[in-house]
Amino acid sequence: MTGEHLNRSMLVDTVILAAAPERKEDLQKLWAKCDPEVLIYPDESGIMLQAKGGRIEFSNRYMRATWLLGYCAWSALESYSPTLLFSSHVGLGVSDVLEQDDGFSDIRNRLEVLLDASRAIREGLDFWPDHVPQPQVDQQGLDPQQKVVFQITMIGTAYALLHEVGHLLSESADEDDISEEEIKCDVFARSFLTDKIGKYAEASGQDYAAITSLRAMGIALGAFVLGETTPSDAYAGAIDYPPLLQRLRALLLGMPLPENDKFWIFGSALLITLARLHEMALVSLDGTPKQVLERILEDLETRWCS
Ligand SMILES: [Zn+2]
């Protein structure tokens, strides 16, 4: 299967700078160290995003599945945020309310349609839900809610691309612990997207905490895509791959955000979705949004990684 060359700046630079506009100069410095060829593969190649031999290779199918998972994440937030926000007001834990969630069935059906569509794309079928716009490169014509989904999806895609750039940098550094390299690439991608938010906040006049929260949500979406595209029998990791939950923990828990930030609600909604996809009963969940996320991570870790 041969890929088609793409101009790096048209895809990789566009996505990364849409996610982190303050990094323009740093991106140039990065390309001075490694300037990858970018190849797009036809849909028959399945779902693919990888870096090797100085190249970043991906398939359109990967981008389409990520776009759908962005909408899926939004739907997860719609499904679970009322419970995550208000369960304590009725004297119940999050998990107790979710057990009695018959009223959410309409929203949950919508979530399942999106998940099924993203899986169909990965398996080579072309099913696209009517209410989801086709992938596009800018926010033109999108309604306000779709604009937020677009922004989060761009950040999630930038995280995935930067993770691959991290591999290319490690290739030139001759890294030999492959499992550790995965974590390092995640940390590299997260740092690139979050370390200079202050500069962007100052230049744009936007609120620092709000930008950080949105970036963190995009990174959580990237982690969700990772969870959804990793076969569950590979969750426990292998000699050249760290356990999925170890990566999620390292990526998500270090976000410098207050206990009640909306990011923790978004992250928890995604993890609840991941757990429910595998038909796992939720453990008792209670506490601040951050504590709930930590508790779900712990539970998933016990089930999948021990
Ligand atoms: Zn990797």
Question: Can you tell me the distance from the alpha carbon of 113 to that of 90, in angstroms, rounded to the nearest whole number?
Answer: 31
The reply to whether 171 falls in a domain is yes
pTM for the whole structure: 0.91
Q: What's the 34 CA to ligand 1 centre distance in angstroms?
A: 17
The reply to whether 184 falls in a domain is yes
Q: Name the amino acid, one letter, at 298.
A: E
Tell me how many domains the chain contains. 1
Within the chain, how many helices (H) and strands (E) appear?
13, 4
Q: What's the 81 CA to ligand 1 centre distance in angstroms?
A: 31
The reply to whether 84 falls in a domain is yes
Q: What's the 48 CA to ligand 1 centre distance in angstroms?
A: 12
The reply to whether 275 falls in a domain is yes
Q: What's the 240 CA to ligand 1 centre distance in angstroms?
A: 10
The residue with tokens 């996320």 is 293
- What average pLDDT score do residues 216-244 get? 84
Q: What's the 162 CA to ligand 1 centre distance in angstroms?
A: 10
Q: What's the 74 CA to ligand 1 centre distance in angstroms?
A: 25
Q: What's the 116 CA to ligand 1 centre distance in angstroms?
A: 25
Contact 267, 215 (CB under 8 A): no
Q: Is 57 helix (H, G, I), strand (E, B) or coil?
A: strand
Structural domain range at position 246? 62-305
Nearest to 138 by CA among 18, 44, 27, 238: 18
| pLDDT value of residue 62 | 87
The reply to whether 238 falls in a domain is yes
- What average pLDDT score do residues 25-51 get? 89
The length of the chain is 306
Residue 192 pLDDT > 90, yes or no?
yes
- What average pLDDT score do residues 22-39 get? 94
The reply to whether 261 falls in a domain is yes
Q: Name the amino acid, one letter, at 260.
A: N
Question: Can you tell me the distance from the alpha carbon of 212 to that of 189, in angstroms, rounded to the nearest whole number?
Answer: 14
The reply to whether 14 falls in a domain is no
Q: What's the 158 CA to ligand 1 centre distance in angstroms?
A: 14
Q: What's the 185 CA to ligand 1 centre distance in angstroms?
A: 7
The pLDDT tens digits of the residues spanning 147-183 come to 999 999 999 999 999 999 999 998 766 656 777 888 8
The reply to whether 27 falls in a domain is no
Query: What whole-number percentage of the chain has pLDDT above 90?
Result: 42
Residue 231 pLDDT > 70, yes or no?
yes
Residue 104 pLDDT > 70, yes or no?
no
